[in-house]
Structures are given as C-alpha cells and as structure tokens.
Structure 1
C-alpha cells in the first residue's frame, strides 16, 4: 500500500491542532476536512448572524408597531412615538449601529473566513500534506471554496433580507430618509449578499498571494474601506442624472419623490463671490454676495424665503429618481461580481503555480 492510499494520515499543526486527511479524497472527505478546519469560525458566524437577524427582525416589529400607533403616518415629533423614534433615542441609535454592522459584515467575512483558507496553510506548512493525497490542489481549492462560499452566501442572504426589511420600515417612519442614500442603499436588495461573497473571494486571494494572515487581513481592511469610499463617491453618477428647474416656493410638483437622490443643486449658500446655487428669473446663477444684497439673511425671522419667492428665484437640480434604485443595485452588484471573478481567477492561478516542495 503506497502512502497515497493509506487509510488516514494525521499530522499536528505548530499550534497543536490536528490536521487529518481522509482516505478517499472525495467530496465527502473534503466536507469533513473543511468542517474540521473551520468549524469554530462557522459556528461563531452562525451564532452572530442569528443574533443579528433576530435583533433586526425584532426592531422591525417594534418600529412597525409605532407606525401603526400613529395610524400609518409620520408620528408627530412631540408625541411619545415621535420621541421613541427620534434620532437621539436608544431605539434609533441601536438600529443605526446594527445597520452599520451589516455594512461592514463583508469585511469581517473576508478577514475571518476568506483570508485563513490558504494563508494559514502556508504559515503552518500543511499544504504539502493536504495536497499530497489522491486529490489535485485545484480540486481541493474549488471544493473548499464552494463549501465555504455556499455557507457565506446563506448567512449573508439571511442578514440581507433582515436589513432590507428594517431599512424599508425605518424609511416609512422617517420624514427625510431616502432609500437612495448610500448607507441605506448598500444595505438593501442583494448588495449585502453580493458584497459579502466578493470580499470572501478577495480575502482568499490575498491570503494565497501574501501567504501570511496578518498582512492579508490588513490588505482586506484597507481594500474594503478604499473601495467603499470610491463606490460612495461614484455611485450617484453611474447613470446620467435627470435635471429640473424648480422655482423657490412653488407648490410641490412631485418631481422629486421621497427616495430620490439629489446629485447636484438644491442648496442655497451665502457669502463672497462663490456661486450661491440660486438663479434669477433669467436663469443666471447669482453669487453669494449678489444673493445677500438681494435677500439679506433674516436670522430666522422668515423674510428671506419670502424674498426668494417675490424675486422668482429658481434652483437647478440634478437627481436620480427613486425608480432607478433596482438598476443601481444591478450596476453596483455587477461590479462586485466582476471583482469576485478576478479574485477567483487569481486564486486559481496562484494555486496552480504553488511549489509543493516549499509547503
């Protein structure tokens, strides 16, 4: 009997944990191996995800109950329900914290599930043992990627469903909350699921390329924050914005629905030679100094707005209508899936070229 077909080989890692390979090298053996190596991470992730989903579901029910108490309309700010839903209330702060955790969930998945998949094998020099059995390194890779990837997808899908529902419920009870604002937009639809899968794959790729866990973790964190800021900056213009002229003080024409995203305009500023954002009747933009001479600040007396109306001042607004949210979800999601494909291709190439003699 050759070493390749021995019933079972056992080895101990440098940290004392046991790495055991299986006799047949088939899918069932790799399922057992994956569970053996990642069971504590899997169990910990399941517990945290269950707590997060349960907590968000409970808060959704509580906010919905307050909404019903106000007869399915916005609660007055001075009402008990309004105080409960206020921005500084414990309920609002808890909801904000949980939804921010959902936003950073993909980074945590990349750090704790993606990076160790290959970096730990390199650090503890167990690849030679794992890949010297009757299974190819590429098959070993794709099987473990599939198993952990399906686990990540299932957990992220559950969290995504709960966060999407909570964001919609919060939007119902908030006067100015738009589902198109970035911190809400990124927590709705399929995005938490897609982004989590993406950073799982990127974590695996960085772990395979760097071969050290800690530097790869820093790489995932830096890459996640950098890409998040880039998407936040660029996503409003992924489709050409619509534009409209609006006269100050005119009746609401319904052009900007609650979930619309204002890309440019909508703010009037005073001071100096900077453009103010206000246009006269001929649609010439006034400078801050010109606007101040025309309608001096009233320090809250209410005369400035009347001056805007009397002088027929206008605003030019570029915006994305709320009806485009599903399209933007698809565009951003496709970008993250493209990055996922690049990361998986990089992992495949790295594994194919790995020198087994070096462990």
Structure 2
C-alpha cells in the first residue's frame, strides 16, 4: 500500500466527523430546498392568483404560505457555508495536527509534508465541490419554482440569491478551505486559527462581492424625466443620476418639493433632460458568475501555493 493511500485513509479517519457533518448539512439543506420547490411554491402561486382576483375588494387577506420564509432561511444557510468551512479548515485541517504533533508523527511514517498537505487539501476540496454544486442546482430549482410568476420570486440580482444560484458559492467554499489551511500552517494553534480563518474569509469573499460588478462592462439606459430611472430595479445597479443637454451624466439635484412638476423645473434649471441608470441586466448573470468564480479560484490557487511554501520553509 502506497504512502499516499495510507495518508488518504488516515485523513478520512481523522476528519470523518467533519465529512458526516458536511453530508448532513447538504442533505438537510438540499432536502428542504426540494420541499420548498414543491408544496410551499405551489401554495404561494395559488395565493398570488387569489390576490389578483380580489384586488378590487376593499379588503383582501391571503395566506402566502411559507415559501418566502423557507427560501430566505435556506439561502442564508448556504451563504454561511464558506465560513463554516473556514472555521473547520483553520481549526482542524492543519492547526490541530501541528499543535498536537500528529503531523510530525505522520512525517516520520514515510509521508512527506508535501503529500500530507496535498491529501488534506484535495480530499476536502473534492467533497466540498460535489456538495456545494448539488446545493446550487437544488437552490436554482427552488428559485425557479415560481417560473410562471418571475415578478414574485426573489430578484436574481439580490446579493444572496445571486451567489447561491451559481458557482460563486462553490468557489467561495474552496477559497475558505485554502484560507483556513494557510492560517492553520501559519498560526499552528487551533482556537486562534479558527477565528483568523473566518475573519480572512469574510474579507476575501466581501472583496470578491465588491469586485463582481466591475468584472464586466455594464449597460447604461437613458429615459425622459416622466418615465423615471430606467431599469432601476431590474438588475445590479452601478450608478444612476441625471442626463444633461450635453449628454453628461451627473448626480440628480436634491429636490424637497411635494410634487414631481416642481422637481422637474429644478432639474431643467440644471440643464437636465432625463435620468440614466448604469446596471447589469439579467443577461449578465452567467458572465458575472463565471468571472467572479474565476477570481475566487485564482485566489484559492495563490493561497494553496502559499500554504506549500510555508510548509516547506517550516519543515526544511
């Protein structure tokens, strides 16, 4: 039996409870997503139909069911997964074995430090990729359950829905894994490594979310004042404001008037001719997903390379 196989079996035995917990999370969230796409979505759809039929009444009470609440809860649960991964990776993937001396024992049994780290990264990465990808597919299924009423389901551009509906959440889990491993190698103490890993993942993933709208050229739409800001809530907004007679895009002047006509006169005195909105439409969903995922995977690769460099320097 090769040392690589021995290392893989030892890694599995050492972290089998983490695997069990991850499998339980995937099964629980995935099962609830499937259920959400069924009875709760059907009830919400019927409620919207009843609501439209009784709009003319002075009073109308309709039970919308649990679709929205359950969907929101499961979306939040998926968003938290990378931070759970970071906490586990920082605390147990490397730091605990280094702190307890288990890693040193493995290195004396014919497993080189490079192979030791490679196995500890490769196996969790494979499990995380499979589990997170399955959850993304089920989340999209639940999100699309109200297919005939897209105006009533959560907006595709809502930050949490955006990330849980595509591969960015999968890439985020891998980035958190790499960040936790590097932190564990640097800190070598379980509890501090846990906290630092989570904090580092928050910074990295928040940075990726901030960068995301700037990874593709947005669309700018212009409309007359009477039509308001075009596509204000149709996508991921970058900027909005007023268009002048020269075609310049400037901030909309403040207006505290009680009616729109008074505001329009103020806008026109500032040479305004209409409003503009710069945004990403729904057609940019996949390009933004893929470019953001590519950035996260690049960060993951850099963190992984740094982990091997740190390990090599620590072990000679």
TM-score by length of 1: 0.73
> Shift of the alpha carbon at 1:82?
5.8
Residue number in structure 2 paired with 1:180 = 157
Structure 2 distance, partners of 1:77, 1:216, is: 57
Q: Is the aligned partner of 1:57 residue 2:34?
A: yes
Structure 1 distance, partners of 2:146, 2:195, is: 34
> Shift of the alpha carbon at 1:245?
1.3
Structure 2 distance, partners of 1:42, 1:78, is: 51
Structure 1 distance, partners of 2:263, 2:39, is: 44
Encode CA deviations 1:316-347: one digit per residue, 9 max, x unaligned.
11111211111111111011101110111112
Encode CA deviations 1:2-49: one digit per residue, 9 max, x unaligned.
xxxxxxxxxxxxxxxxxxxxxx45343223211221111111221122
> Shift of the alpha carbon at 1:78?
6.6
Structure 1 residues without counterparts, runs of 5 or longer: 1-23, 266-276, 299-303
Structure 1 distance, partners of 2:87, 2:53, is: 42
Structure 1 distance, partners of 2:223, 2:78, is: 37
Tell me, yes or no, if the aligned pair for 2:136 and 2:166 is still in contact at 8 Å: yes
Tell me the SS of whatever aligns to 2:94.
Answer: helix
Residue number in structure 1 paired with 2:117 = 141
Q: Is the aligned partner of 1:297 residue 2:258?
A: yes
Q: Is the aligned partner of 1:41 residue 2:18?
A: yes
Assess, with a 3 A threshold, how the Cα gap between structure 1 residues 251 and 352 changes in structure 2: closer, same or farther: closer
Residue number in structure 1 paired with 2:77 = 101
Encode CA deviations 1:195-230: one digit per residue, 9 max, x unaligned.
111111111111111111211111122122223333
Assess, with a 3 A threshold, how the Cα gap between structure 1 residues 236 and 81 changes in structure 2: closer, same or farther: farther
Encode CA deviations 1:241-295: one digit per residue, 9 max, x unaligned.
221211244499xx74975222211xxxxxxxxxxx456778786632xx44xxx
Tell me, yes or no, if the aligned pair for 1:106 and 1:199 is still in contact at 8 Å: yes
Residue number in structure 1 paired with 2:283 = 323
Tell me, yes or no, if the aligned pair for 2:44 and 2:64 is still in contact at 8 Å: no
Residue number in structure 2 paired with 1:273 = none
Residue number in structure 1 paired with 2:194 = 217
Assess, with a 3 A threshold, how the Cα gap between structure 1 residues 33 and 241 changes in structure 2: closer, same or farther: same
Residue number in structure 2 paired with 1:194 = 171
TM-score by length of 2: 0.82
Tell me, yes or no, if the aligned pair for 1:102 and 1:187 is still in contact at 8 Å: yes
Q: Is the aligned partner of 1:84 residue 2:64?
A: yes
Assess, with a 3 A threshold, how the Cα gap between structure 1 residues 319 and 135 changes in structure 2: closer, same or farther: same
Tell me the SS of whatever aligns to 1:317.
Answer: strand
Assess, with a 3 A threshold, how the Cα gap between structure 1 residues 78 and 231 changes in structure 2: closer, same or farther: farther
Q: Which has the higher contact order (CA 8 A, sep 6+)?
A: 2
Structure 2 distance, partners of 1:173, 1:81, is: 22
Residue number in structure 1 paired with 2:93 = 117
Residue number in structure 1 paired with 2:213 = 236
Structure 2 distance, partners of 1:306, 1:219, is: 54
- The structure with the larger Rg is 1
Tell me, yes or no, if the aligned pair for 2:11 and 2:119 is still in contact at 8 Å: no
